[in-house]
Amino acid sequence: MRAARKIIVFSSLFLLILAGLLAAAVYLYRNPEIVAAHAEQYFSNALGLDIRSGRVEWSLRPLRIEAGEVSISSLSKPGAFQLEIQEIGCGMHLDGRFGRRVLVVDYIRAVGMSVEIQDMDFGDPGERSKGENALEGLLGRLAGFFLFRDISIGEISIEEGDVHARFEDVDFTMSRLSARRGPDGPIEIAGEAGIRMPLIGLELAMPDVRLALPPGISFPSVRVTADLEINDAKVETTQMSLDGVCARFDLDADFVEKSVTASKAVVSVGNVLKFNGSLEGRLKPRPAFGIAAERCAIELSDFLSIMPLFTVGGLPQLKADGILSVSGRAGGAIVNERWNLEGNFEALLEKTVFSWKTAGGDLRGVVSGASDFLLDSGGFPAITRAGMVISEGMFSNDAAVVEFTGLEMHFSGRHPAYEIERFAARIPRADLYMPGNRLTLENIYVAGSGSSVDFDTLSVDFPDVSISLQPAGNFSARARIRPGASHISVVGKDAGLIQLAGRFGLVPVGWDVYGTDEIQIEASLDSEHHMALKGKIKLESVSFEDPTGRFIGEGLSAWLAFDGTADMESGFISGELSAGAGDGEVLFDLFYMDLGRNPFRAGGAVEFFISERRARVARYGLGFENLFDFVVEGTAVARSIPSGRLDLHLSPASLSPLYDFLVRGPFGRRIPFLNGLRPEGMISAELELSGTPVALSVRGGIKLRSGSFSFTEKEMSGRGISLDLPVWIETGSGGKRVIAGVEPLSGRFSVADLRMPLLPAQHFDFTLEAAPNRIRIP
């Protein structure tokens, strides 16, 4: 009886509980507002969110929710996540077996949706494991609550949506958001979007964004694939602005890992840039991005026109017309609130026409090249290896025009400083301009290594440069160029200066000239364009002969040196010019000179006015040792018809060596009488030369003191000879006219003792007068 009684009691209790549950279910079904109020509280506690709504309507069969004025926000961090929806309606059902159920969303309709996200931090941290973030917790709770692993969306319609999300240094906004999906096809989302990255000063405005999503989501790892299309976007930085940006991507987004990958990316920026590759962005553990460029083609003419680096400052003005192809990888991440960038790229440039205007001159040509470079947070790319060839090139400024058919250069560095490992150039022609003059060089080859260039300080260092001039020889040079102080030195041994002189017409046609040579030049330029110039040319073992054999030289050595200053702007050069010749023998027609016994020396102050083609000397001395010395003063002008005015001062010199050199040596064989004549005395002269070679005027006088002569065979002699010989020579038309009002030049001739055969001793003393091309005894 007791057992039966217990069964009846428990059965009655179960029936009462079941009846109560059924009554409660009927009551809740008849009064949904009570369910709504408690559902909000339950979802809030379960998801770690504050969920509120102005009204909620729902049904179980079919499963349907209609709500208005919905507000969802983070409980743990108010303001981190905020979702507001004016009106939303959703119909759904569960499909599939238990454990593999799919939540099928038959339709979603929403109007006026607004999302605010700050760092994706929502949910109660105390309810999460150490490595779990808010989004992972949310998705896990959703899957656990509804007991489904996938969501499939049928139809969707969203209007008037906007999104604002901030993840550390990245601000993302989207407005005019709309979403559509019919019975078939992907979910199509469209709207306006913008991205701001204040740390690097980047802003991207996208007025037309289209996103195609598949109609399904899997839990708990939410991965979404999509097709993204961006049209007519604009990129702005602190230094440039790019319009007409268009892009297409295949997106793979993982909301749990906070990462997105854009494969098969195609990006174009007007006619400036075409990009094929992939992009990657990640917010966890810190914001980062990556770029892989299979090929990035840059149209240089448009690219350089929009880059302020090449138009406003930094590098000088550079223009180019060609395609720069770039491939490689780059990426960046935020470290200590700053973007840390890195990348490795290759660049290729083929037959690009360019022009480059700098303060020092203009460079243009056709360039091809290849480069490996690294990107980092330092700004300009670091070039690890680069090589280029410039063909059909020309460099020009006020001082030179240089044509070259091939300039090859290998370099590395980061702007503004670059190291030039080696370079070489073939120059078919170079015109060097000086005020009033031009020097043309041809067939030049230049090569060097270990050089450096700094565009910031406009400094250049060329420690080792070799120069080859054809048909001349080779030179070596060093250069250190600075805006306020530059130094250049050139050294040439066996430099072929003799051949070079022949090429420029400084050696008469048909003459055979050979020997060795050496040249040394040093020049320093200051900020005022004042140049200190020092140079020396040495010739050794020089021999020459003209076609007729009248002019011959053997075993000669000579040198020419200058030490002075030059003003490059005015074309004025001044300094000490010296020259010398020794060793060897010279025959000029009938005149023979042994330079070993009578070496030549010259030196003094000179001034050159290059623009006027004028030279001025002040007490410039020259002469042959043991023969004579004279000093020259005056001015000479080297124009189409040379002209000038020079004063010649012949220092007192012994007459006998001069007689041997000028008279007995050349004419003694033809006139034996001259061999027996022995003149003595001291001779000097003061002459003034003016005019041109075709109209030359020579005025002055020649003096002989303590003169004597003897002629033993004829028993003739003279002693106490004194001569003041006036000289007045006019060539051209000047020699055929009498200059009115000009007094003739006067002189005097006296002989204290003149002895001749059959005559007693005689003495003479009379005056002389000289007029143009005339001399007389008044």
pLDDT digits (tens, 9 = 90+) for 574-583: 999 999 998 8
Find the mean pLDDT for residues 730-753. Answer: 76
pLDDT over 90 (residue 98): no
Find the mean pLDDT for residues 204-212. Answer: 91
pLDDT of residue 356: 81
pLDDT digits (tens, 9 = 90+) for 401-454: 989 888 899 999 988 899 999 999 998 988 887 666 677 888 889 999 999 999
Please report which confidence band the pLDDT of residue 330 belongs to, taking 50, 70 and 90 as the band edges.
confident
pLDDT of residue 310: 44
Please give the biggest Cα pair distance in the chain.
Answer: 203
H/E stretch holding 572? strand 572-582
Query: Looking at 377-414, which runs of residues are DSSP E strands?
Result: 382-396, 400-404, 406-414
pLDDT over 50 (residue 29): no
- CA-nearest of 468, 453, 467 to 360 is 453
Q: Are 403 and 428 in contact (CB under 8 A)?
A: yes
pLDDT of residue 113: 86
pLDDT of residue 166: 83
- CA-nearest of 708, 696, 589 to 636 is 696
Find the mean pLDDT for residues 676-701. Answer: 91
The CA distance from 385 to 395, in Å, is 25
Q: Residue 90: which residues within 8 A CB-CB, separation 6 or more?
A: 64, 65, 66, 105, 107, 108, 109
SS3 state at 8: helix
The answer to pTM > 0.95 is no
Residue with the bigger pLDDT between 666 and 501: it is: 666
pLDDT of residue 370: 93
The CA distance from 462 to 336, in Å, is 42
pLDDT of residue 741: 60
pLDDT over 90 (residue 767): yes
The CA distance from 164 to 173, in Å, is 4
- CA-nearest of 613, 772, 636 to 693 is 636
Find the mean pLDDT for residues 608-626. Answer: 89
The CA distance from 290 to 282, in Å, is 9
Please report which confidence band the pLDDT of residue 126 belongs to, taking 50, 70 and 90 as the band edges.
very low
pLDDT digits (tens, 9 = 90+) for 528-565: 778 899 999 999 999 999 999 899 999 999 999 999 99
Query: Which residues are registered as beta bridge partners of 122?
Result: none
**Which has the minimum average pLDDT: 115-119, 556-560, 579-583, 668-672?**
115-119
The CA distance from 579 to 562, in Å, is 9
Please report which confidence band the pLDDT of residue 41 belongs to, taking 50, 70 and 90 as the band edges.
low
Query: Looking at 667-761, which runs of residues are DSSP E strands?
Result: 677-692, 695-711, 716-730, 745-755
Please report which confidence band the pLDDT of residue 79 belongs to, taking 50, 70 and 90 as the band edges.
confident
pLDDT over 80 (residue 285): no
pLDDT of residue 140: 52
First to last CA, the chain: 190
**Which has the minimum average pLDDT: 236-245, 269-278, 440-449, 626-635?**
236-245
* Percent of the chain surpassing pLDDT 70: 85
pLDDT of residue 125: 38
Find the mean pLDDT for residues 358-366. Answer: 83
Please report which confidence band the pLDDT of residue 221 belongs to, taking 50, 70 and 90 as the band edges.
low
The CA distance from 211 to 662, in Å, is 106
pLDDT of residue 701: 94
The CA distance from 685 to 727, in Å, is 10
pLDDT over 70 (residue 313): no
H/E stretch holding 537? strand 530-545
pLDDT of residue 145: 47
Residue with the bigger pLDDT between 136 and 348: it is: 348
pLDDT of residue 551: 92
pLDDT of residue 65: 85
Find the mean pLDDT for residues 211-237. Answer: 81
**Which has the minimum average pLDDT: 125-134, 176-185, 484-493, 552-561?**
125-134
pLDDT digits (tens, 9 = 90+) for 128-171: 444 445 445 555 555 544 456 678 888 888 888 898 888 767 88
Find the mean pLDDT for residues 641-656. Answer: 91
pLDDT of residue 201: 81
pLDDT of residue 187: 85
Q: Are 638 and 611 in contact (CB under 8 A)?
A: no
Q: Are 725 and 702 in contact (CB under 8 A)?
A: yes
The mean predicted confidence, pLDDT, of the chain is 81
pLDDT digits (tens, 9 = 90+) for 231-250: 999 988 877 788 889 999 89
Q: Residue 289: which residues within 8 A CB-CB, separation 6 or more?
A: 279, 280, 281, 282, 331, 332, 333
Please report which confidence band the pLDDT of residue 724 belongs to, taking 50, 70 and 90 as the band edges.
very high
- Which tokens is 233 given? 């976007």
Residue with the bigger pLDDT between 221 and 248: it is: 248
pLDDT over 70 (residue 737): no
Find the mean pLDDT for residues 620-647. Answer: 89
pLDDT over 80 (residue 518): yes
Find the mean pLDDT for residues 45-72. Answer: 78
Q: Are 533 and 504 in contact (CB under 8 A)?
A: no
Q: What is the bridge-based pairing of β-strands 63-74 and 55-59? A: antiparallel
pLDDT over 50 (residue 306): yes
pLDDT of residue 72: 83
- Residue ranges per domain, the chain? 40-197, 627-776
The most confident of 165-179, 183-197, 616-630, by mean pLDDT: 616-630
pLDDT over 80 (residue 714): no
pLDDT of residue 144: 47
